[in-house]
Amino acid sequence: MVKQTSVRLRSVVVALGVASLGLASASHARDGNPVRATRALDAGWEFRLVPEATSAAPEPWTVVKVPHTWNRIGYYLDPKDPKANRAATVNKVQGVGWYRLNFTEPAGPAGQKVWLQFDAASRLAEVWLNGIRLGEHRGGFSRFRFDATAALVPGRPNMLLVKVDNRQPSPSATTADIFPLSGDFFVRGGLYRPVSLVVTRPVHIDMLDHGGPGVYATTRSLRGSTAEVEVRSRLVNDTAQPARVRLRTSLIDAAGKVAVRSDEAMTLAPGVVAQPVQQLTVARARLWQGTADPYLYTLRTEVIAGSGAVLDRLDQKFGIRLIRLDPDSGFILNGKHVPLHGVGLHQDQESSDWAMSPADIAATVGTIREMGANTIRLTHYQHGQMIHELADRYGLILWDEIPVVTAWTHGNDVDPSAALVTNARQQLQELIRQNYNHPSVAAWGIANEVDFGPGRPDFLGVPPKTVADPRPLLAELNALAKADDPARATVLANCCEERQNDVPEVSDITDAYGVNRYFGWYYGRPDQLGGHLDKLRAKHPSRPLSVTEYGAGGSITEHTDDPLGGPVNPAGPGQPEEYQSLVHEQTWPILKSRPYLWATWLWNGFDFGSTVRREGDSQDINTKGLVTYDHGTRKDAFYFYKANWSAAPTVHVTGSRYAERAYPVTDVRVYSNAPQTGLSVNGKSLGIRSNCPNRICVWEAVRLQPGANRVVATGQFRTGPMRDAITWTLAGESAAAYRIDSGALIAAKSSQARFGSDAFFVGGQAATTDTPGGRGRKPVLAAISGNPDRDLVATFREGDFHYRLPIEPGRYSVRLTFIAPQDSTSGQTFTVLADGVEKLTRLDPLVEAGKPLQSLTRAFEVNAGGPRLDLHFKPEGGPARVSAIEVVRIP
């Protein structure tokens, strides 16, 4: 909420001191319009992070440029690849920061109005100008303005002072009533979006309407080539006398020609907000058609005096379009079905964090467009104007939402406080008013994952004993959104319906809904997603359904030889890049085959900062992004979607970062949208694949040579060939050997030789003697004895299973490592066969090792005729188990 006051707090100003910094004179608006001038206040700020505003003599201040945040969150752990953030440079302080700026504003015409505009300040802001408190704003994501006319001294230095507070909300905190209360992201502090000074005439378009533009346009109907557009304006007369004016509203096409214009004469009473409504009939309207044709008009609003002088002018981009969400046909744009596929997005980047520059934001959108996405879910709060403007320009469809995330009450409160409800309403109204005119915005999101019930994960805050019911708050927010903007759909995203018991059902509150589902990551398998979605559709047949989150973590420094070789750890290290790719490879065909889904958004476009995580190869980073936190490295899964979504020729050999290979034989996977794709290894052609299913071309059992191996994929397109090449190396000791860490998704390090992760198996299940840890909990390691490589021994494959190793004819030594079971029960025997010949008969590891968790090794030799050696682990009195396999050719 913006609260404007005129309290003079000179004691605060004196305590903090004044710096004379000097700024350039104010600039006009970008269109050169002299009736409304906008001046960026970006340079010359001073910043200080202090616990209390009126503490002892101030320390030296630091000169900063706005946008600015003092926080730096998250870093990667790989010392060989240093990034912008390191353990020593992160800053997770949540507290109070002070900003001050001295500037001089030239004197203007008598009666002019001066407004201070903040595009965002997190999460609580208080503003003083020349010692006069202008007011406060509660919320860290939306634009707000103050009337600074009375406090500004034209032609002389003015001191602007801003206090921001990003402390975590708690019942006793100053931020107690400011959403979000929880969430899998970190709320930074600072003036992290632009600050500006706006000068208008005393008769002007409303500047204090929830940070909105004061002019709001809606496409009401399309009939043939004719469009009906309704425009609501808010006009203010800040003089003491009635003002006779003409309101002129025009739609101007891209060539600068007026397509339609409406003039309305009126008298503006002093101090009253007039709200005229005008109807524009646009003949031969060119529609905003998403990425196919994102055509934009200029919506120009002018307030004209009786003399003909323009008192105020506002230009905004506007696209003529109608959007409908259909439970059977999905997303309908201007009467045509458009399949929507895209990404979720947070507003951070490693080097600049939340204070992203225009270049950062443009590059981010460019990367998303490169992937072929046509929609972005802006999560989990209101994003800035620039990304909305870029979405308008490029035809990207947006889901906007407010930060009612996970929690909506404190502690064991069964209802949100009145102040929390007020804040949620305020943030929703700001979201709608500020983004109302963007054709890219399709829906207003009122909440995310408020249906955990008693099963809320501890890392998001231990759930209260009595779980509050979110439905009353959601119903109030839904009604507010529909009242403010009846033309757009209301939406929310749930986590748990039909997946957990005892959760509140919220899907029937909004016009449409989305589901965040992580089959194959936090639970289940990817192939279970389709049936789950069909069940939800049958349950809510009249409610349009989307998938708002799906995916898996992926670390570019962690790799596996087989993503099915062992269990993935969604809450810690062990998130290989190849597993992320597998989840997306298996999930996307399921989503693509369900046209009733009105949109799908993978999670996430980019790795992002989150202090509740220590996972993969990072600290305080959520690794589910398809691009790294610095927005620089595209993971393999990025190219899977580029091959599927983009029309741009795409050929990508996966596994380039797994350069030092463990096995002499491997599959080669290429993401390609070429009609034909060929592969060569070390100059030798391995054949052509045509129209690969789901754009995945596979060459199985490719043999590598010792040393460097050049792998080249070539796609044949109408425009000519496109190639992608990578180099894999194979150590000499691995060229004629298979050393397998059974049951391991990522191979353990061994003191004896290089092992690969579990691969070449058929059947069985991966298991471990250790108790895996979770978030904030270390794993409990079993007390294994008899082997210096305890991590190698700890994992195993069990059941009735085979290992089928692609080998060349010859004589081989086979060395098997077992672990005696923990339960001290003898009689769990099994037999090991090599190519059908028994080599170890009715082996009982507990009896032979002598005690539980004792390592045991057995060896034998085989004469193999090729092309495969089949090792069969056959249960007799219990499941077969093996921890490590070493098959080495005998010279």
Active site positions, annotated: 449
Residue whose tokens read 């009401």: 220
Q: Phi and psi (nearest 5°) for 778?
A: -80, 150
Backbone conformation region of residue 99, classed left if phi is above 0, alpha if psi is from -120 to 50, else beta: beta
**Cα 821 from chain centre:** 43
Q: Which two tokens stand for residue 670?
A: 């290429």
As a whole number of angstroms, the distance between CA 627 and CA 353 comes to: 15
As a whole number of angstroms, the distance between CA 376 and CA 398 comes to: 5
Q: How many residues does the chain have?
A: 891
**Cα 705 from chain centre:** 41
As a whole number of angstroms, the distance between CA 126 and CA 131 comes to: 12
Residue whose C-alpha is closest to residue 549's, from 620, 491, 605, 489? 605
Contact 534, 635 (CB under 8 A): no
Contact 74, 350 (CB under 8 A): yes
Q: Is 476 exposed, middle or buried (0-12, 13-18, 19+ CB in 10 A)?
A: middle
Q: Which two tokens stand for residue 865?
A: 């005729």
Contact 848, 826 (CB under 8 A): no
As a whole number of angstroms, the distance between CA 539 and CA 238 comes to: 55
Residue whose C-alpha is closest to residue 355's, from 600, 147, 68, 57? 68
DSSP string, 175-241: TTTSS-SS-SS----B--S-EEEEEE-SEEE-S-STT--SEEEEEEEEETTEEEEEEEE-EEE-SSS
b/e sequence 449-464, b meaning 16+ C-beta within 10 Å: bbbbbeebbebbbebb
Residue whose tokens read 């929310």: 492
